[in-house]
Amino acid sequence: MANILVVDDDQGMREFLEIMLGREGYRVAVAANAEKGWERCRKEKFDLVITDLKMPGADGIEFIKRMKDISPETLVILITAYASGETALRAMKEGAYDYIEKGFDDSEELKATVRNALAKKGIRKDDALFIKGVQDALCFGKIIGKSKEILKVYSTIKKVANTNANVLILGESGTGKELVAEAIHENSPRKSMPFVVINCGGIPENLLESELFGYMKGSFTGAYADKPGLFEIARGGSIFLDEIAELPPALQVKLLRVVQEKTFRRIGGAEDIKVDMRIISATNKNLEKSVKEGVFREDLYYRLNVVPIHIPPLRKRREDIPLLTKFFIEKYSREFSKEINTISTYALELLLEYQFPGNIRELENIIERSIVLEQSNIILPENLVLTGSIGTADYISDDLEIPSEGIDLNEEVAKLERRLIEKALAKAGGSKTKTAELLRVSSDSLRYRIEKLGIQ
């Protein structure tokens, strides 16, 4: 049962919140001003504090500042009758979890904000355990996540790691296919031997052949000495062939021989070289379709696809976004020597709603850029650079033309976002709760967007 403290000089508001939150099953204490609130927090541990902004003596912002010293783990929600973007920004920079306008439409909005705050508090505890390496369920090797979808991947890795079966990893770009391949190798009996990675789509065909198979001295101009290929280097270990769908037809034939017989010849060589290694392949394309189109050899496909592992896109595992975000914040805060340790509620809501066409790689890029730009100790929404907005794709005409002088993408997206929100507000009769439901966003996110766009 969560322990909540209400700090407000208005006795009526204190009593209202005490009764309302008590009915929700929370333990509730009250204080009439900041000083009494601090005193209660020194004597008792609270999960959440709800404080008014305007109070005699120290105000809500000052209260938040002092709370960070007294009980840094306690979350704070600010209630204010003077809500503005500037107020919200100040509160978030000082460490507030969220803020809500006094005179809210109904108690459901506050109840939802409290529930979300307590839920997020639980997520932050999980993240801390992950960073310390205590909770194994949150990671597998370098893969991060606890969603049902990613746990299935963990299970498959465990089952296949101790075998010599070839594995084909399938998934969109940026989903972490190489991390899965590395996890398979690191959990196998081959972990003390080499793990060799090559991108089949990033090297010209003539160079790719020599990289894979090696060559003999004098076999072509510039071959001044014998050179072992990656298959030789991977002997006893694992080789990861990324973007296997891009392998040219001539090399598909040669790879088939390696897979079937575990032998190959260097370019210009006359002797067969035998190797013991595991082949792990990956692609972001539909290999079955490539086989039907005659672009990829059917016999090679079945040899490589002994055990397929499907990596879900990030939009299918949204439960993992807070964990990944936390990880990248800590990673890049250390790298850039910054003291940024969290992300604001609104900013996280925007990430949770975003579709992430670039998957985890895009999330990492977004957080890295935000860490570079952020001047406070918390990532704020204005420093998140997302390529899309709410539902824009469905509202853009196929015959839309870009003028020769170009357009300001951010400005055009903001215009579309404003139109959608204004229409939804009108349809909902001004109710922000119903508007959020129509737009399929949270109340917190809608409130942030309305303030950002200056919608009255």
CATH code of 275's domain? 3.40.50.300
Q: Is the predicted pLDDT of residue 292 greater than 90, yes or no? A: yes
The structure's pTM equals 0.59
Amino acid, single-letter form, for residue 298: E
Residues with Cβ within 8 Å of 104's Cβ and at least 6 positions away in sequence, in order, are 110
**d(C-alpha 408, C-alpha 419), whole Å:** 17
pLDDT of residue 82: 58
Q: Are 180 and 320 in contact (CB under 8 A)?
A: no
Alpha-helical segments (H) within 102-144: 107-132
| Site of tokens 């909770």 | 135
Q: Name the E strands within 91-183.
A: 98-101, 139-140, 143-144, 167-170
For residue 188, what are the domain limits?
A: 148-311
Q: How far apart are the first and last CA of the chain?
A: 39
Per-residue pLDDT band at 391 (split at 50, 70, 90): very low
User: Residue 228 is inside which H or E element, if any?
Assistant: strand 227-228
**d(C-alpha 344, C-alpha 88), whole Å:** 10
Residue 47 per-residue DSSP state: S
Burial 266-292 (b: 16+ CB within 10 A, else e): bbbeeeebebebbbbbbbbbebeebbe
**d(C-alpha 280, C-alpha 240), whole Å:** 5
Mean pLDDT rounded to a whole number for the chain: 83
Closest by Cα among 108, 118, 123 to 442: 108
Mapped onto helix, strand or coil, the DSSP state of residue 146 is coil
Same domain flag for 190 and 122: no
**d(C-alpha 384, C-alpha 410), whole Å:** 12
CATH number of the CATH domain containing 355: 1.10.8.60
Of 221-225, 270-274, 331-335, 348-352, the poorest mean pLDDT is in 221-225
Helices (H) and strands (E) in the chain, counts: 18, 18
Per-residue pLDDT band at 69 (split at 50, 70, 90): confident
Strands 167-170 and 307-310: parallel
Structure tokens at 453: 């766009």
Phi, psi of 451 (to 5 degrees): -65, -40
Of 156-170, 205-219, 301-315, the poorest mean pLDDT is in 205-219
Q: State whether the Cα torsion 22-26-27-30 is positive or negative.
A: negative
- The count of structural domains within the chain is 3
Same domain flag for 160 and 266: yes
Mean pLDDT confidence for 336-352: 87
pLDDT of residue 421: 86
Q: Are 49 and 77 in contact (CB under 8 A)?
A: yes
Closest by Cα among 207, 210, 205, 213 to 258: 213
**d(C-alpha 58, C-alpha 70), whole Å:** 15
CATH number of the CATH domain containing 115: 3.40.50.2300
Structure tokens at 348: 């996280």
Tell me the pLDDT tens digit for each residue of 414-450: 778 888 888 888 788 778 888 888 887 777 677 777 8
Residue 53 lies in a domain: yes
The length of the chain, given as a count of residues: 456
Tell me the pLDDT tens digit for each residue of 106-136: 567 778 778 877 876 654 444 344 333 323 4
Same domain flag for 183 and 332: no
Residue 139 lies in a domain: no
Q: Is the predicted pLDDT of residue 394 greater than 50, yes or no? A: no
Q: Is the predicted pLDDT of residue 10 greater than 80, yes or no? A: yes
User: Residue 378 is inside which H or E element, if any?
Assistant: strand 378-379
- Top pLDDT among 221 and 179 is at 179
User: Residue 340 is inside which H or E element, if any?
Assistant: none
Same domain flag for 300 and 208: yes
pLDDT of residue 387: 65
**d(C-alpha 164, C-alpha 170), whole Å:** 19
Mean pLDDT confidence for 78-106: 65
Per-residue pLDDT band at 222 (split at 50, 70, 90): confident
Same domain flag for 166 and 246: yes
Same domain flag for 50 and 127: yes
Residue 137 lies in a domain: no
Mean pLDDT confidence for 6-16: 87
Per-residue pLDDT band at 405 (split at 50, 70, 90): confident
Residue 119 lies in a domain: yes
Tell me the pLDDT tens digit for each residue of 189-203: 999 999 999 999 888
Of 132, 158, 190, the residue that ends a domain is: 132
Residue 143 lies in a domain: no
Q: Is the predicted pLDDT of residue 84 greater than 70, yes or no? A: no
Of 311, 346, 370, the residue that ends a domain is: 311
Residue 334 lies in a domain: yes
pLDDT of residue 202: 80
